[in-house]
């Protein structure tokens, strides 16, 4: 099984997901939004897999701190939303777990204990 977890190390949802993977002895790579550069290609990969509505976290503290102008632009225009997520990756829903094993693709977004366990089983 090959997995990559995308998120921020000190995020509680990411920590819970990593704990599940560790408990099940699943090996994974970790992509830290704070330490590694978010690219258009990677963001497009997330959006193609889950859709803009799930990837752009409008419930986050970062979203609430945006100006009304930025929120309106991001809500109306996917390119504006993408630009914001590139410059402020905290706007991306986390954790994102992507990977594959011999029989299936693995793709989860946000912390969902049951979905993560089902994906790695």
User: Which residues participate in catalysis according to the annotation?
Assistant: 11
Sheet containing 96-100, strands listed edge to edge, beginning at the edge strand earlier in sequence: 29-32, 2-7, 96-100, 105-109
Say if CB 36 and CB 116 are below 8 A apart. no
How much is the CA Rg of the chain, to the nearest whole Å?
14
- The whole-angstrom separation of Cα 3 and Cα 74 is 30
């Amino acid at each position: 099984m090959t997995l990559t977890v995308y998120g921020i190390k000190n995020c509680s949802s990411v920590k819970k997901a990593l704990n599940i993977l560790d408990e099940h002895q699943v090996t994974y790579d970790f992509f830290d939004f704070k330490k590694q550069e978010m690219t258009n290609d990677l963001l497009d990969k997330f959006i193609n897999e889950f859709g803009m509505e799930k990837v752009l976290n409008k419930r986050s503290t970062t979203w609430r701190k945006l100006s009304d102008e930025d929120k309106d632009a991001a809500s109306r225009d996917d390119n504006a939303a993408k630009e914001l997520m590139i410059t402020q990756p905290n706007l991306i829903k986390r954790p994102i777990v992507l990977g594959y094993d011999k029989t299936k693709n693995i793709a989860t977004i946000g912390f969902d204990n049951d979905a993560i366990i089902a994906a790695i089983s």
